[in-house]
Amino acid sequence: MKDNEIRRLEDQLRRGFEGEAWHGPALMELLADVTVEEAAARPVPAAHTIWELTLHIASTYGLVNRRLRGNHEPLTPEQDWPPQPDEPTSREWLVALNGLRSAHQDLRRAVAEFDAARLDQPLGPEPPYPAYQQFIGLTQHDCYHGGQIALLKKTLRKGT
C-alpha cells in the first residue's frame, strides 16, 4: 500500500512541475515562454522576480535532496534565495531553467527510490517533519510560487 503512495507522490511532483496538474498550468508550462527580460524584470518593487523564484524553487529541491542524503544543514539566506545575475543573458536564463529541471529530476528519482516504510518518519533531527510532509510540501511550494510567476507574467504582459 505504501509503495503506491510513493508512486502517487512522484506523480504529483511530476504533474505540478511538467503538466497535467489539476490546478492549472504546471511550473514548467508557466516558465516555457518567459523571456530573459521578463525573468529578470521586477514589476512589483517589493516582490521577487521570476528568475529569483526559479532559483529559489531549485534550491528547495536541492534542500530536500540533501536531507535525503543525511545532510540536515539549513540553507543559508543566499542559498535559499540566490540572486539573479546583474547583467542577465539568454544563456544564463537557460542555465537557470536547466538547473531547475535537473534539480527536479534528481528529487523525483530520490522520491521514487525512497523506502515507503519511512514515509511517516522525519528525514532527520531537524526539521522534524515526516518525509511524506516534505515531499507533498514540495508540490504545495511549486503551486505557491507558480501562482506568483503567473501573476508576474500577467503584470508584465498587461499591455498585450
| CATH code (residue 100) | 1.20.120.450
Residue 159 has pLDDT above 70, yes or no: no
pLDDT of 137 > 70? The answer is: yes
pTM of the model: 0.94
Instruction: Please check the confidence at residue 1 and state whether its pLDDT lies above 60.
Output: no
pLDDT band, very low/low/confident/very high, at 2 (cuts 50, 70, 90): low
Closest CA to 107 of 136, 147, 146: 136
37: pLDDT strictly greater than 80: yes
What domain count does the chain have?
1
Cell numbers linked to 154: 500577467
Sign of torsion over alpha carbons 117, 123, 126, 127: negative
Number of H-type helices and E-type strands within the chain: 7, 0
Does residue 127 have a cis peptide bond before it, meaning omega lies within 30 degrees of 0? yes
Domain span including residue 50: 2-156
Task: Give the single-character DSSP code of 26.
Answer: -
| pLDDT over threshold 80, residue 142 | yes
Quickly tell me which residue has 516582490 as its cell.
Answer: 47
CA atoms 22, 27, 28, 30: torsion sign: positive
- Burial label for 117, CB within 10 Å (0-12, 13-18, 19+), is exposed
Write out pLDDT tens, residues 50-101. 999 999 999 999 999 999 999 989 999 999 999 999 999 999 999 999 999 9
